[in-house]
Amino acid sequence: MPDYQAPVDDMVYLLKEVFKADEVFAQLPEYSEINVDLARTVLEEAGRLCANVLRPINLSGDIEGCHLENGVVRTPKGFKEAYKAYVDGAWPGLSATPEFGGQGLPRTLQILVDEMLSGSNLSFGLIPGLSRGAAETIEAHATQELKEKYLPKMIEGIWTGAMALTEAQAGSDLGLLKATATPREDGSYTVSGSKIFISSGDQDLSENVIHLVLARLPGAPAGSRGISLFLCPKFLVNEDGSLGSRNNVNVGSLEHKMGIHAQPTCVMNYDDSQGWLVGEPNRGLNAMFTMMNAERLFVGVQGLGLAEASYQTAASYAKERKQGRTPGGKDTTSIIEHPDVRKMLLTILSFVEAARALTVFTALEMDKEKAHQDEATRKTASGLIALLTPVVKAAFTDFGFEATVLGQQVLGGHGYIREWGQEQFVRDARIAMIYEGTNGIQAQDLVVRKLILDDGAPVSTFFALISQTLSESASQPGAAAIAAKLGAALELLQNVTKKLQKGDFANATDQNAAATDYLRLFALVTFGWFWLRMALVTLAKGDGADARDKRKLTLAEFFTTRILPQTASLAEQIEAGSKTLLALEADAF
């Protein structure tokens, strides 16, 4: 199995040449000292950790899996040492607030590191990833007392966090959940209920696990407006910050999953656990959703990271493996000379590099939303993030999964064999299409809520950005073919968008029926936009374009001629409406 190499050069290319990140950070007082050189240093250091520490235990961790022994979860061999290295490198606090010991670096750097974690060892990467989500939720909603008690150790990484939402009967529809919380005299609560699919629910890496648990207060309204959020630590914490007695927070079992075997996904039982309210009563979902954009961006990036990892193995194999002859040729050749094999590799690449561009774009908007001094800029950023979050989550994980399947196919029979690593990427990638809101639900969010958000301002802003790049490209004859195809695809997208916003399909049923096709159409146009932008970067350099620049231009041509045409069929499918979907009675299935 080839090594993982963090794609630092491609990341820096995006920061520097496509997004001019130095100029962005210069506008943000909090990040004014951040620049691309610093970013490269951080990314290279993270890349070394991922390549040298995390990737070597990815396959072995998959094979060994986690084990539950006497109520305690044991992670696979090497995970303890790896986690120690992760903590020693201060990675848990990379983007966390300096107020509680974090380094306060931008989201943009964090998310690029997240891509590497996902690509080198997703099972591991989920542990700090979810812990960060829990810490950010506490930071945004908990009392100062809770923050001071829990955040420093979570940000240091010696404690970790877990998010306990799902119950057997309440998955996508959290309004159905039944866990309860009753007040105690000391202001804390007694939390009871059983939760499933709890990532990092327990492990032997951190000294304490801080669970954020959704539960209902006595007399709370039914449905999603009667849910509150509670902090239930595995070990109670004494006044001086030392660990006290064991809280009644127990692992019922480890889930038997298709992939991410080294990730301790637990059934958790909270049996009269002691917990503390986070945020307002009955506003628990709200508190959770504050962090949802960041979490969903992280999940999307998991699809991207695994696609990159699968690509690296596939490309390396394709260059080495001798099999068959070039079309019309006579000598045995490396399979990379077969156009069909190249098509698979280019399909992966043209997704990976455009998705990474969208990642950086979105993360920079998040940094602006947080740190820009101009309110209008913050508002625009906020709208774009809301709009793009479901696209990133669902499209990256759908295309990312498909990319790992292609990367597996390049290896032929070896792709199906565990030792080569490709089949693990497929199994690991599959979960990202499901958790943190299934991709179907992301599509509903995009179509039902985000298209009409703020009277449609974010989507109009976004389309205007694409149109602006199309206008800029008019002066570059070398980009004419790419721009023409993108322009046509954008027009299709804008047409169906109008129909979904307030035209023929602006009703709940047609929106629901259109959603997944629409999200895919939206994502393809967005990827096309970034390919045009990268092509323009190359063309602007004229004779100064180097090999990397020329490669981007070729990839842009590949994407627009070989992938973007899917937009035509997606638009036609959406135009079919919901009629045939509803024609059958449920019993006919």
Interface residues for its own copies in 372-431 (CB under 8 A)?
401, 405, 408-409, 412-413, 415-419, 423, 426-427, 430-431
568 binds its own copies (CB under 8 A): yes
Per DSSP, what are the bridge partners of residue 231?
Answer: 212, 276
Tell me whether residue 278 or residue 553 sits nearer to its own copies (CB atom).
553
43: phi then psi, degrees, rounded to nearest 5: -65, -35
Stretch that binds its own copies, among 201-209, 243-251, 326-334, 454-462 (CB under 8 A): 326-334
Least gap, CB of 176 to its own copies (angstroms):
7
Stretch that binds its own copies, among 93-101, 331-339, 384-392, 458-466 (CB under 8 A): 331-339
Binding residue for its own copies, selected from 5, 121, 444, 473, defined by CB under 8 A:
444
DSSP string across 11-48: HHHIIIIIS-HHHHHHT-GGGTT--HHHHHHHHHHHHH
Give Cα separations from 307 to 458, 542, 548, 559 (angstroms): 29, 31, 20, 16
341 binds its own copies (CB under 8 A): yes
Q: Comparing C-alpha atoms, which of 202, 179, 291, 209 is closest to residue 253?
A: 202
What's the rounded Cα separation, in Å, for the pair 311 and 552? 16
Stretch that binds its own copies, among 45-53, 101-109, 358-366, 571-579 (CB under 8 A): 571-579
Type and span of the H or E element at 362: helix 339-371
Q: Which residues contact 576 (CB under 8 A, 6 or more apart)?
A: none
Binding residue for its own copies, selected from 435, 522, 527, 529, defined by CB under 8 A:
435
Stretch that binds its own copies, among 40-48, 184-192, 342-350, 538-546 (CB under 8 A): 342-350
Cα four-point dihedral sign 296, 297, 303, 309: negative
Give Cα separations from 204 to 68, 78, 84, 490 (angstroms): 10, 12, 11, 50
Binding residue for its own copies, selected from 29, 207, 509, 541, defined by CB under 8 A:
509
Tell me whether residue 188 or residue 439 sits nearer to its own copies (CB atom).
439
Least gap, CB of 470 to its own copies (angstroms):
20
Binding residue for its own copies, selected from 338, 463, 471, 473, defined by CB under 8 A:
338
For its own copies, the binding residues in 536-565 under the rule CB under 8 A are 547, 551, 554, 557-558, 561-563, 565
Answer for the pair 95, 109: CB distance below 8 angstroms, yes or no: yes
331 binds its own copies (CB under 8 A): no
Tell me whether residue 82 or residue 405 sits nearer to its own copies (CB atom).
405
Least gap, CB of 501 to its own copies (angstroms):
16
Using CB under 8 A, count the residues that bind its own copies.
93
What's the rounded Cα separation, in Å, for the pair 115 and 122? 9
Type and span of the H or E element at 319: helix 292-320
Helix residue ranges per DSSP H, 445-507:
457-473, 480-502
- Give the chain's end-to-end CA distance (angstroms, integer): 44
439 binds its own copies (CB under 8 A): yes
Cα four-point dihedral sign 128, 130, 131, 137: positive
Least gap, CB of 352 to its own copies (angstroms):
12
For its own copies, the binding residues in 65-124 under the rule CB under 8 A are none
What's the rounded Cα separation, in Å, for the pair 193 and 198? 13
DSSP string across 172-226: S-GGG---EEEE-TTS-EEEEEEEEEETTSS-SSSSEEEEEEEEBPTTPPSGGGG
Indicate which residue of 45, 375, 436, 575 is catalytic. Answer: 436
Q: Comparing C-alpha atoms, which of 126, 138, 135, 114 is closest to residue 46?
A: 114
Binding residue for its own copies, selected from 47, 171, 193, 275, defined by CB under 8 A:
171
345 binds its own copies (CB under 8 A): yes
Q: Is 139 a catalytic residue?
A: no
For its own copies, the binding residues in 246-305 under the rule CB under 8 A are 255-259
For its own copies, the binding residues in 206-225 under the rule CB under 8 A are none
Q: Which residues contact 309 (CB under 8 A, 6 or more apart)?
A: 4, 119, 120, 425
166 binds its own copies (CB under 8 A): yes
Tell me whether residue 21 or residue 306 sits nearer to its own copies (CB atom).
306
506 binds its own copies (CB under 8 A): no
Binding residue for its own copies, selected from 438, 469, 476, 494, defined by CB under 8 A:
438
Least gap, CB of 487 to its own copies (angstroms):
15
Stretch that binds its own copies, among 125-133, 162-170, 276-284, 358-366 (CB under 8 A): 162-170
268: phi then psi, degrees, rounded to nearest 5: -115, 135
Binding residue for its own copies, selected from 218, 339, 542, 544, defined by CB under 8 A:
339
Annotated catalytic residues are 436
